[in-house]
Amino acid sequence: MIRIAQDLASASWAPVPQSYSHKRNADETLLTSWQRTGPDRFLIKAGWPGDHSFYTTGADGTDPLLFSETVRQCLPVLSHAAYDVPLGHHLLWETYDYSLVESPSAPREITLHIDCTDISRRGTRAGAATAHIRALHGDSLIGTATTRFTIQTPAVYRRLRGEYADVAHALERRLAPPPPLPEQEAGRERPYDVVLSPTDIPGRHQLRVDTGHPVLFDHPVDHVPGILLLDAARQAAHAASRVRPAHPIGMTTRFFRYVEFDAPCWIETAIDPAHPDRVLVTAWQNDKECFTASVALAATRATPAANAPHSGRGAA
């Protein structure tokens, strides 16, 4: 409580250390400064790139994956800066839901208004929290997100993960990436960024994990990152859409199990029975459900030829 009172008394912007975002490459660090405005209320400033090799920027509107990575970085930053979580602890996504406001172009600077609720603590340190986020450019709303995450000490994480907690061992056992889905089907410009591989079953792809990707794998990890699963959901929904190009304007996601490197992970698409206008994406590994995403799509501005109907896998 003393620290909270001091933060509120100063009420000034503090820089975000690069290590707090859990990114090794400084160019991939999106958050610049933060401020506490209440016991569990915060402002965080983010700078988005004007050009990027992986994210869509500029006149193409808000990239949902760039938005999601910005939200993801908020979680370790607040954990370390505001909730006494030491570096080296592991943050685990349980749920992540977002909705984007359609805009003609992506801003360069945004401010995230964050309220944390349902906080569980171990002493002074947070062990889990739900973050409610509103992203604004000036007075214009860019998008909203709600996410629940937990925090594990290194000892607890090793106990939960067992042999998979050894990063070097996990990477030694990784499968070679299968051939990529054609980038036009995945909604990507480069084969290198495609995270799906085709199969002979309609509505089913194999997850394509390339641990050498400089953005998705900024540093070695022992399992498939959540951000890669979000991109797999986006690409699978795009492949299932009758109108292309298309982009997500919202997702409702649930993370149930880790996706490992040493076994195939299958990405399946279907019409969401609860929301027929959405695509339901499910990730399976070893016959167990690992991740689900209900994806809302909108047509991307493109030439008439690019928006012609496709006979691709699945239907939405």
Q: What's the CATH code of the domain at 283?
A: 3.10.129.10
Q: Please indicate, yes or no, if residue 169 is contained in any of the structural domains.
A: no
Per-residue confidence (pLDDT) for residue 302, from 0 to 100: 53
Alpha carbon dihedral 286, 287, 289, 292, in 10-degree steps, equals 90
Instruction: Identify whether residues 20 and 89 lie together within a single domain.
Output: yes
Alpha carbon distance 162, 160 (integer Å) = 6
Q: How confident is the model at residue 50 (pLDDT cuts 50, 70, 90)?
A: confident
Instruction: Identify whether residues 146 and 179 lie together within a single domain.
Output: no
Range of the structural domain that residue 206 is part of: 174-299
Per-residue confidence (pLDDT) for residue 158, from 0 to 100: 96
> Is it the case that residue 315 has pLDDT exceeding 70?
no
Tokens of 228: 């890669």
> Is it the case that residue 243 has pLDDT exceeding 50?
yes
Instruction: Identify whether residues 63 and 109 lie together within a single domain.
Output: yes
Backbone angles phi, psi at 135, to 5 degrees: -105, 125
> Is it the case that residue 43 has pLDDT exceeding 60?
yes
Tokens of 89: 């602890």
Instruction: Identify whether residues 123 and 224 lie together within a single domain.
Output: no
- Contact present, 164 and 223 (Cβ < 8 Å): yes
Tokens of 284: 């399976």
Q: Please indicate, yes or no, if residue 222 is contained in any of the structural domains.
A: yes
Per-residue confidence (pLDDT) for residue 245, from 0 to 100: 85
> Is it the case that residue 308 has pLDDT exceeding 70?
no
CB atoms inside a 10 Å sphere around CB 50? 9
Alpha carbon distance 118, 149 (integer Å) = 11
Please state whether the peptide bond connecting residue 245 to the residue before it is cis, i.e. omega within 30 degrees of 0: yes
Write out pLDDT tens, residues 160-182.
999 999 999 999 999 999 999 99
Q: How confident is the model at residue 130 (pLDDT cuts 50, 70, 90)?
A: very high
